[in-house]
Chains A and B, each alone.
Chain A
Amino acid sequence: MSEVRVMKEGKKSKKQIESTLEEKNSSGYDTDSLENILSIEQLKKRVTDQFGEDARLILDSIDEVEGIILRREVREKGEFDDSKAIIHLSGLSKKYQSTGMSPVDALKEVDLSIVEGEMVAVIGPSGSGKSTLLQMMGALDIPTSGAVRINFQELSKMNSKQLTEFRSQTVGFVFQKFNLIPNLTALENVSIAMESTKMNRQERRARAAELLKEVGLNERMSHLPGQLSGGEQQRVSIARALANHPKIIYADEPTGSLDSRASKKIISLFDRIRRNFNTTIIIVTHNHSIAKHCDRTVKIKDGRIR
């Protein structure tokens, strides 16, 4: 329990951290993690003073170090509390039946819990059921059997309208092939995700612009997907996934179509998102180096979690 709390505190804003530190000083409440964060905050300030314009990039690197420290603690010191799991799968199975073909078990009796704010890598060979697992968790497909509880709601009990709202408000998807709408600009691709909300057009566009700025595409907003590089398209896709402040982001091979440099940027972006918005992030990947950035790695083979 204490590890979970530590991790969450680690993702609070600077002000909250300072407040916690003040509390620590006055109450004598002590954790190694908070001390680490304190030193990191001091380091950030020094780096910003010294490097000015480039400070953000360096701070990102520091953020990564911070994340590594926190995740290491989580891995070393204990397990999450399942009752607080934002994602809970029990006995989840999915069977695909094609005409004239024998049925294929994509998932077999999968049990999995993921707590809020966790960044989890789902890793496994091709055809192991990784993407199917992600689709079940994101309400993109219906399981053959078993239950999916997301954000304390049973997906199977939701009607079509509720599922649509769930996809819009609770989760965000990032796909390997980006899946941007080709005849919409970057800005429109992001703002279209907000069309189901009560925001008016101006508000949607303003929010989309803000998100694109956040992912470093403020000068590429009016470009069509075909005019953007793979890495840029994936960043648009991430901005789209963030549009409605989702609690969970599902990323299916998000770096699968990118070179190593672009991949690194994307992972760094996920890290920052997780830290800034306390978003739970599930990444399906082949790439073990990406898995190292995550709090936890779930290995899947032949439809079963190993």
Chain B
Amino acid sequence: METVIRGARNVKRKPVRSIGVIIIIGFSLAIFLTSSIVASSIEAQAAALEDSLGREIIITSSDVSFDRSASIDEDILNLTNNISTIESVQTFVTDIDRSGINEVLAQGGPREPGALRAALRFISGQNLSSELEGFVSEELVLVNGRMLNDSDTGSNNVLLGVDSALANGILVGDSIQLNGFSLNVVGLVSGDVFQTNATILMSVETAQIITDTSGFDKVVVTIESIELIDDVMNILKSEYGDELTIQTASEQEGDNIAQSIDTIGGNADLGAMAALFASMLVVGFIMVIITKERVNEIGVLKAIGLPNTKIVTQFLSESIFMASLGFFVCIIITLVAGPMMQTMLIESGSDDSSTSEQGSSPQFSPGQILNPTTESSSMDSITSLEFSVDAKSIVTSLGLTVVIGVIGALYPIMGALKMQPAQALRYE
């Protein structure tokens, strides 16, 4: 109690400077606290994401290059249909044959051939199903026209990404030519999902006809229960293990989003470490200055015969008191500005990841656009993380506060204690 009273008197003696110091301490700690909260939230979310993806198995070609045709034989459906524990099967066809895409001609032709190439990059087919809600998903926004449904299976009705439509002056109701097929644009779509705006979306059967393939690029199998996934994996691997890549969605998702999560988590960790370092440096420096100003007092206490232990205890407790006030400010700043800082950190990570994927060798997997369990949807779940200050982070910050208070004050105190009392009394 005496320490609190003495500390309060210290603040009262030099109110402007003391409040400034407390705010600086609070702000420094707040950066650390926020960064560590974001880092731990992302880790927790990533773990939750893995759990949610646990029931899915993704089958793709072992050949990871983009210049391939559908390489999963339709026979796979015979196998999956016979496994009773499989809840549903989604099939995808993606064509990234640029020469084929470049043949796409809007009525009146593209305004700029380069723009077409840039704007229209993929053909994506997915099996339409009422049960699976066809193309309708949270990530896909209908801008104009209508969505595809079961009745569009095998038809020449397609959806066009809005960027491609704008670049080529295409409207709903227009026809486009692709690989000699005339396709009707029944809707324009947009979305945050990777490359949605540069894709022609259609049923998997239509895509097979246009690309002249009979198989799929990707098959997603959903199991009834996570406990049964190993059994199904074993069956699939025993049949296709040599020719296809069979992995759980969490594994593939883990691969896909690892970079993004690493980036975001890395940013958060880096932010936390930098903030920790900066906090310790700033607060330590402030404590050094404050305590150095009081070397004279240490000299007095030595001159009146106070043992070093008592002097250290008194000064440290006052220093910790000051740092503790900073801690309370830190909590307030964290609660107010934390969510904003979290968004900034995550956006920086997302930007980094999308930049890397828009390069010349995109790691785009077939069907990624329409699969709700895609990297982008995972990223969305991360960007929508709720910011909450947990007890662990508070205890960590409080511990840090004490450490900073102690280290910052201890250095000049020990220096002053080494002086002869007369020297400390003369100290300016």
Contact = CB atoms under 8 A, between A and B. Distances in A.
Interface of A: 135, 138-142, 161, 164-169, 172-173, 175, 179-184, 192-193, 195-196, 224, 226, 240-241, 243-244
Contacts of A142: 420
A196 B6 contact: no
A184 B296 CA distance: 15
Contacts of B307: 161, 164, 196
Given A166-B305, A195-B306, A179 B300 contact: yes
B425 to A, nearest CB: 7
A181 B310 contact: no
B155 interface: no
Given A140-B420, A181-B300, A224-B9, 19 more contacts: A135-B421, A140-B302, A140-B425, A141-B420, A142-B420, A164-B307, A167-B303, A168-B304, A168-B306, A179-B303, A179-B425, A181-B297, A181-B301, A182-B9, A184-B9, A193-B304, A196-B306, A240-B304, A241-B304
A179 B420 contact: no
B10 interface: yes
Contacts of A164: 302, 305-308
A139 B9 CA distance: 31
Interface in B263-308: 296-297, 299-308
B62 interface: no
21 contacts: A138-B303, A140-B420, A140-B425, A141-B421, A164-B302, A164-B305, A164-B308, A166-B305, A167-B304, A167-B421, A168-B304, A179-B296, A179-B303, A181-B301, A184-B6, A192-B306, A195-B306, A195-B310, A196-B310, A240-B304, A241-B304
Q: Which 7 A-B pairs have the closest CB atoms?
A: A168-B305, A167-B305, A141-B422, A183-B9, A140-B422, A140-B421, A135-B422
Contacts of B304: 167-168, 172-173, 192-193, 240-241, 243
Nearest to B10: A183
A29 B256 CA distance: 111
Contacts of A141: 420-423
A241 B299 CA distance: 15
A173 B317 CA distance: 26
Contacts of B10: 183
B392 interface: no
A183 B8 CA distance: 9
Interface string B299-324: 11111111110100000000000000
Interface string B232-256: 0000000000000000000000000
Contacts of B423: 141
Interface centre among A142, A183, A192, A241 (most CB of B within 10 A): A183
Contacts of A175: 300, 425
Contacts of B306: 164, 168, 192-193, 195-196
Nearest to B419: A141
A164 B6 CA distance: 24
Contact of B305 (A180, A183, A196): A196
B24 to A, nearest CB: 21
B30 to A, nearest CB: 28
A164 B309 CA distance: 11
A141 B419 CA distance: 9
Interface centre among A142, A192, A224 (most CB of B within 10 A): A192
Contact of A183 (B13, B302, B420, B422): B13
Contacts of B303: 138, 140, 167, 173, 179
A196 B303 CA distance: 12
A91 B140 CA distance: 96
A184 B304 CA distance: 15
Contacts of A173: 303-304
Nearest to A167: B305
B428 to A, nearest CB: 12
Contacts of B300: 175, 179-181
B305 A244 contact: yes
A179 B302 CA distance: 12
B393 to A, nearest CB: 33
A182 B13 contact: yes
A250 to B, nearest CB: 10
A172 B296 CA distance: 17
B305 A192 contact: no
B421 A192 contact: no
A54 to B, nearest CB: 34
Given A165-B305, A196-B306, A183 B6 contact: yes
B426 to A, nearest CB: 10
Contacts of B310: 195-196
A140 B427 CA distance: 14
A166 B421 CA distance: 13
A241 B303 CA distance: 10
Contacts of B308: 164
Nearest to A165: B305
Nearest to A184: B6
A175 B300 CA distance: 10
A161 B303 CA distance: 13
Contacts of A195: 306, 310
A243 B301 CA distance: 13
Nearest to B305: A168
A168 B423 CA distance: 18
A146 B185 CA distance: 106
A168 B310 CA distance: 13
Nearest to A243: B304
Contact of B302 (A167, A172, A241): A167
